[in-house]
Structures are given as C-alpha cells and as structure tokens.
C-alpha cells in the first residue's frame, strides 16, 4: 500500500505498539480506517463512532510509518483536536505536539506566521478580537458616512460585522448575503461594499488581521504563492477533516488547494449539515467526489446510541429527503427492541408543558431516570417559553444549555423594562434599562434626564411621560440622542395610551411595533429571531387582564428561577435548541413545538426550502437513546385572542404511521 513517498523514512521498529485494529473496530470502521490512501469520504451516521474512526485512522497511518509531521488534522474546535490527538497518544505513544492538528483558524494563523510575507503580510501582524474588530469597522464606516450609525434602524458595528463576515466566509456578494440572511438591511445594502473596502484598507494600514482574515489570507497564500501551496501539498501527505459537512466555502477551497494529491479523508454526515446560517455549505460534501476524482465512499451506519425503533423513525426522516440531493444511508441498531417513539398532540403550549412535567416526574420517580439524562429540544427559543414556566412552577430544576432563560434574555428584559416603566414612571430601574439604549446616554445621563423630567412634571403638573417630550427636558439630552428622542417619547406615549384602554397583550404589541422594534433591527444581526421571541410575549400576555398581574408574574417567575440557581454539576433537565444539542445524547428526549410554521419555521416554508430544517429534525430525533416524544400544539397561543389552529409538522406527517405511536392527551392525562 502506497502510504509513503520515496523520501519517507519508516519509524523505528517497535516505536508504535501493536494495535489490533480488527478486534477494536467494527467492519465499517475497520474498512474506513485501513483504506488505501486517496480521496476518502466517510459518511458517519449519528452515533456511529465518527471520532473513533478518525482517531484510529491517525493511529493506523502512524503504524504504517507515516510521520506525525506529515499528517494534517483539521477540526472545528480545539477541544475536538486535543481529544483526538490525546487518544492517538494513548494508542501509539506519539506526543500530540508532533502533529499539525487544530481548528482551521489556528492552523491558518500558524501558516501565515511562517509564510505570510509571500502575500505581503508582515510576520508581526496582530490579531484583533471581536470588540477590536467592531471598533475598527466603526471607524472605517464613520470616515465614509459619519451619519450611518445615527440611524437606529441601520446595523450597529456588531451586526454589520456579522453581515460582512458571512459574505467573506461564503464568498457570496454582500448583496446576496443581505437578501438571503439579513433582509432587514435590504434598504442600505448598496452602501456596504464601500464599508467593507474601507475596513480592509484600515487593517492593512495597521498590520492587523481579524478572525476571518486567518482563512481568507490562507487561501490567498495558496493561490498567489504556488511554491507555498506545493510545499504544503508535499509536507502534508495525509489530510484528515472532521465534521466536513460544516465547512464553508473558504475552508473547502483551502483543503482542495492543500490536498492536490487527493490524499484527503473527509469525515462527516450530509444529513447533519445544519449550519448554513453560519456559512456551512451543503454543496461541499455533496460535490466532494467530483472535486476529488476516484473518491471511495465509506458508510459507517451501525448506531450504538439509540433503540431500533428510534432509528427506524430517523431512517424515515432520511428517506423523505429529495432524491439525488443526499447520500443514501441507513442507520442500523446494535441495541435490543424497545418502545416506539410517541407523537403527542396537545391542545396548546400550556398543555404541552403540563404533559412534559407529568411524564418527567414519572420517569424520575417511577423509572429512576436521572434528570441529567432528560432533554427538551426546540427549534427556536420562543417555543420553550411555556415549558420553562411549567418547569419553574413545578419546582423541577432545569438548565438552559443554549443561552439564558426566556425572561432573562437581553431583548426580553428591555421590552419588559419599557412596559414596566410606562406602567409605573417612578420605576427608575425600568427607565435606566431603556434610556441607556439611546446613543451616548449612560446611567448618569439617564438619571440626569429623569430628574429633569420629574421636576418639570411636578412644576407644570403634567404626566411624567408627557413631560419627557418637552423642550426643557430635551435640552438635557445628549446631542447624539436628540435625533431619536422624539420617536422614543412618542413610542412611550403610545404605549401609555394603549395601557389605559386595552388588554396587556395589546400593550406588548404596541411596545414591539414602536421605537424599540426599530432599535432591535439595528442592534442585533439575528433581529428576525429575536422579534419572534418578543412576539411570544404577546401570547404570554393574553392570559392576563390587568397589566399589574402580567408584570408581577414576570417578576415572580424571574425570582423563582433566580432563587434556584442550578449547580452545573447538579442534576437538572436540559433545555436546548437542536443546534446546540448536536453531538450530545440523552436517555429521553422531548422535541416540542413540532407544528408547521414552528418546526419547520415559517421563513423556511415561505422560501420553499425546508431541507436544512428536515436535517435539523433528524439531528433532534437521533439525540434520543431510549425514549423519544414528538410534541406539537394544535393551537398557537401567540396568534391573538382565540389562537390560531396549527397543523402537525410536515416532518411528522410525511413519516409512515407505523414508525410511531400517537398519543392524544385527555384533560386528566389519563393516557
């Protein structure tokens, strides 16, 4: 087998302890690990031992006399690289430091330090952190258009950086990036290319690189310095890539430029490509055989995680994919038969939460299942609001592993602060929360304005909210905030008027539609997702007739959850988005909010592209080891009085009904 080129030296005899690969690996893993060098695409299904396969491949190469320095291992986290190389060390005794192994960005940095001068990048360049990158971008933009950031609907430096970063990593035009991922910025997209150019020029002037430059400059180096590309192709005789389905356009091109010898093993699963919003390109894994002629595909399909019944449903999800747009694979179980997954129809989110509480208690008290082995998964944060409330009220400890609890999220707290202040203008905490969102207003400035408004309201015997809009108070407002002040005061007044005449949910709607909604658009790149979460507040508010009851309940909920701070090591139910759950596993999984428009999401349905959402559903169901509950509400509580009827997710209805058991709840949960 052609593992070594002519000038390679075999390691000293006996340097690598003998490893019985045949005994330690199943047939599929063994075939991939011992495959002849060349282009190899290893399709590793969920729970099939992907990391084990990569680790043993490195050990196998070493056992054949390949030098550690001739192996390049690319991963997406430093943790993954360290874990694999330490396992290799345990198997072979070869120290991790002898390999080039790490994330794309860390390897890119290493390459540029050595060879960057070939593209006029001085070796003493410094790397900007996220805050420094945004600060430099802000300077570049203001030199081009000093009023750009004055408009609160325009993206602030952080969201603007996200737009430019995604464009660079996907190599899409800025125009296409905005249309596809950031439609809230469509009106100003023509101004952005000039900002990107000015930012790039500033980095060159200051001899600095941001995080994305480590990939962009690396690719430029491989293209413009062919002698450097040839050196790396000769040095790294074997390139191994983990989670290949998550590569973006830059990363895939870097691999292709280095592995011109086609001795590359790409390990991944097209069915788990779920990060397009971060730049991952599904086409990279699908076109790998075309870009690397002679590719041998190895399928690792034996699953050691889940029951046959859960895997049968997972295979049903795979079979629903469009023909020709995926690699065929079928997960096979190594475990004994158990119960089928249950599809649970609930009346609404509240009943869904009540069912989950009752079932969790039964699992823990009757079946002895640890809280740590129970997970509740969802597509978007707002879907989990009612479940969080139910868990808190029931005193069941839980952890949000993909962020903070709903009412502790920044934009939710902002909105609640605004409403709370309007309801009670004496609430200076609520005032400070929203006033500091205005340009150049800090806590001291907010207090100064508040005092002026309070004095004026007393002197003129006016309502405090009305006093804010007077010229006397406006004179205390910093110059940079004056442009927003009128719309800010007008929005507060509209919320106050609505509060006098309408139900609390109407007040929440008015607050979202006013000044804060405009602020949200400019403040967050994920504006659309955050707006969805705020709209979930409308549904929550529908259960209250009085504003004081709504605000009191929110405070009580926060108090209850804050009082029960969960020790990271203590047992607790895990709540997480499906994206964050990838790579994890639990004895029992509840997937909630499985209704069309929620999972798959409304935007994916309207765009006519639900395939990534289907892959996300596949990831969700394959997290479960023993029991799987697929839950959906019949009525959307966010749709206004009376709610809106929902249909079960198409990902459920397209499955063969033999793959699951339906469970329709009775009011008493007498199932």
Annotated binding site for ATP: 44-51
- The dihedral sign for the CA sequence 479, 483, 484, 487: positive
Task: HSE, CB side, 13 Å, CA atoms: give it for residue 315.
Answer: 18
Distance between CA atoms of residues 287 and 72, nearest Å: 22
* Alpha carbons 412 and 217: distance in angstroms, whole number: 39
Concatenate the DSSP letters of all residues of 369-381 into one string: --GGGEEEEESSG
Strand partners, 102: 74
Nearest to 47 by CA among 313, 245, 303: 303
**Is residue 94 within 8 Å of residue 63, measured between CB atoms?**
no
H helices within 101-156, ranges in order? 104-115, 130-144
Of 496, 463, 469, 467, which is closest to residue 485 (Cα–Cα)?
469
Burial 577-615 (b: 16+ CB within 10 A, else e): bbbebbeebbbbbbbbbbbbbbbbbeebeeeeebbbbbb
- The DSSP code sequence of 639-665 is SSTT-EE--B-HHHHTS-GGGSEEEEP
Side-chain-side CA neighbours of residue 33 (13 Å): 27
Is 97 buried (19+), middle (13-18) or exposed (0-12) by CB count in 10 A? Answer: exposed
Where is the binding site, in residues?
44-51
Concatenate the DSSP letters of all residues of 321-346 into one string: SPTTSS-----EE-S---PPPEEEEE
Query: Hey, what's the torsion of the CAs at 513, 518, 520, 525, to 10 degrees?
Result: 120
């Amino acid at each position: 087998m052609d593992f070594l080129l002519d000038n390679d030296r075999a390691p000293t005899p006996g340097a690598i302890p003998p490893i019985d690969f045949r005994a330690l690996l199943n047939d599929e893993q063994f075939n991939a690990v011992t495959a002849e060098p060349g282009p190899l695409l290893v399709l590793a299904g969920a729970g099939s031992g992907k990391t084990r396969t990569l680790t043993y491949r490195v050990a196998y190469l070493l056992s054949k006399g390949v030098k550690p320095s001739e192996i390049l291992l690319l991963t997406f986290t430093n943790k993954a690289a360290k874990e694999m190389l330490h396992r290799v060390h345990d198997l072979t005794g070869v120290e991790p430091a002898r390999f080039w192994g790490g994330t794309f960005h860390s390897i890119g940095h290493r390459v540029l330090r050595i060879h960057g001068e070939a593209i006029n990048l001085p070796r003493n360049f410094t790397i900007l952190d996220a805050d420094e990158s945004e600060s430099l971008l802000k300077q570049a933009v203001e030199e081009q258009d000093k009023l750009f950031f004055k408009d609160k609907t325009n993206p602030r430096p952080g969201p603007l950086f996200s737009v430019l970063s995604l464009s660079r990593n996907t190599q899409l035009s800025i125009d296409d990036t905005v249309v596809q991922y950031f439609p809230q910025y469509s009106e100003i997209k023509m101004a952005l290319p000039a900002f990107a150019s000015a930012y790039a020029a500033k980095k060159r002037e200051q001899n600095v690189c941001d995080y994305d430059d480590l990939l962009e400059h690396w690719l430029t180096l491989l293209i413009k310095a062919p002698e450097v590309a040839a050196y790396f192709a000769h040095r790294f005789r074997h390139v191994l890539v983990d989670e290949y389905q998550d590569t973006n356009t830059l990363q895939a091109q870097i691999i292709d430029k280095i592995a011109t010898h086609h001795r590359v093993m790409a390990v991944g699963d097209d069915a788990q490509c779920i990060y397009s919003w971060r730049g991952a390109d599904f086409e990279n894994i699908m076109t790998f055989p075309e870009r690397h002629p002679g590719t041998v595909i190895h399928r690792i399909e034996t699953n050691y995680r889940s029951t046959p019944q859960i895997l049968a449903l997972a295979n049903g999800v795979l079979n629903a994919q469009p023909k020709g747009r995926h690699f065929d694979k079928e997960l096979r179980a190594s475990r004994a038969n158990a119960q089928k997954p249950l599809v649970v129809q609930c009346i609404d989110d509240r009943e869904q939460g009540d069912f989950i509480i009752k079932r969790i208690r039964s699992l823990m008290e009757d079946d002895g299942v640890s809280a740590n082995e129970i997970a509740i998964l969802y597509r978007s944060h707002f879907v989990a609001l009612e479940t969080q409330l139910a868990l808190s009220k029931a005193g069941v400890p839980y952890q949000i592993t993909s962020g903070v609890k709903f009412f502790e999220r920044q934009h939710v707290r902002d909105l609640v602060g605004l409403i709370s202040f309007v309801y009670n203008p004496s609430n200076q905490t609520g005032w400070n929360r929203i006033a500091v969102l205005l340009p150049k207003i800090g806590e001291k400035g907010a207090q100064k304005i508040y005092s002026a408004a309070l004095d004026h309201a007393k002197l003129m015997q006016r309502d405090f909210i009305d006093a804010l809009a007077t010229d006397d108070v406006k004179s205390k407002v910093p110059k940079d905030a004056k442009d927003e002040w009128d719309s800010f005061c007008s929005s507060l007044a509209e919320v106050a008027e609505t509060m006098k005449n309408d139900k609390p949910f109407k007040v929440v709607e008015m607050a979202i539609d006013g000044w804060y909604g405009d602020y949200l658009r400019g403040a967050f790149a994920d504006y659309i997702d955050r707006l969805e979460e705020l709209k979930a507040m409308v549904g929550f508010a529908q259960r209250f007739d009085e504003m004081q009851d709504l605000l009191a309940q929110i405070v009580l909920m926060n108090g209850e959850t804050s009082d029960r701070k969960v020790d990271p090591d203590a047992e607790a139910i895990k709540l997480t988005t499906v994206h964050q759950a990838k790579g994890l596993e639990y004895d029992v999984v509840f997937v909630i909010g499985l209704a069309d428009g929620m999972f798959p999401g409304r935007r994916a349905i309207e765009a006519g592209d639900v395939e990534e959402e289907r892959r996300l559903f596949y990831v969700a169901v394959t997290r479960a080891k023993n029991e799987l509950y697929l839950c959906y509400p019949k009525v959307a509580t966010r749709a206004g009085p009376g709610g809106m009827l929902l249909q079960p997710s198409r990902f459920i209805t397209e499955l063969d009904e033999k793959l699951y058991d339906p469970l329709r709840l009775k009011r008493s949960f007498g199932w």
